[in-house]
Amino acid sequence: MKLLVIEDEPEIASFLLKGLRAHGYAVEHSVTGAGGLALAKQADVDLVVLDLRLPDLDGTDVLRRLRANGNPVPVIVLTARGDTADRVEGLDQGADDYLTKPFAFDELLARIRARLRRREGEQAMVLEVAGLALDLRTRRIRVHGRELDLTAREFALLEMFLRHPRQVLSRERLLSRVWGLDFDPGSNVVDVYVGHLRRKLGEGLIQTVRGMGYRLVADHDQGTKSQNVTP
């Protein structure tokens, strides 16, 4: 899942980025409303955390423009404004939830999870492919009935594979969605974490497609190879 944080206060922004990434989210960041609007249009964002007091646009203006452009992305507003009138205005402009500063990070996480679940609607909360079962609510993973311990980043990477079974996922796409980073041709972080998953899941589930990326195969695909595909 990719989140967008629009927050100009350096300490709060740093706190949010570190905390959200530690919990396995890919995070984009903007210190201005205009920059946040541009990222919301360009990036594949699942949820926005928005501060109302920004140096260029007021947060309510950001909300208004997002909704005017037909962008349905969930928005959680963070603000020092606690008046009922301000809350009502934010909600009227399209905010999905509201937190007043100072706030507990655990509460923000819970609200993010709730909004993401609501957005998924009827989408299954347990992803199952190739003998793997990943529960998005409890964040548990089972391989043929055996429970595994994964780090937050390993969990996020495996979730990407399970959401796109049999599809070839490029290193660029994985780096963007799981780490929230632009592609760096000198980085091998994707390959390293794929190696971690292979050791924990067993060989054969994640194949390397030479020159293209990786893919998760279904049970009956295992062992199927071509000249350009390796386990």
pLDDT in tens, 22-60: 988 989 999 999 999 999 887 678 899 999 889 998 888
- In CATH terms, is domain 2-120 a member of 2.40.50.140? no
CATH no. of 126-230: 1.10.10.10
Give the start-to-end residue ranges of the domains of the chain: 2-120, 126-230
pTM of the model: 0.58
User: β-strands 47-51, 26-30: how paired?
Assistant: unpaired
Where does residue 125 rank: exposed (0-12), middle (13-18), buried (19+ CB within 10 A)? exposed
Q: What is the DSSP letter of 29?
A: E
Q: Which of 94-103, 111-120, 181-190 has the lowest mean pLDDT?
A: 181-190
Choose between 1 and 13: higher pLDDT. 13
User: What integer best gives the mean pLDDT of the chain?
Assistant: 83
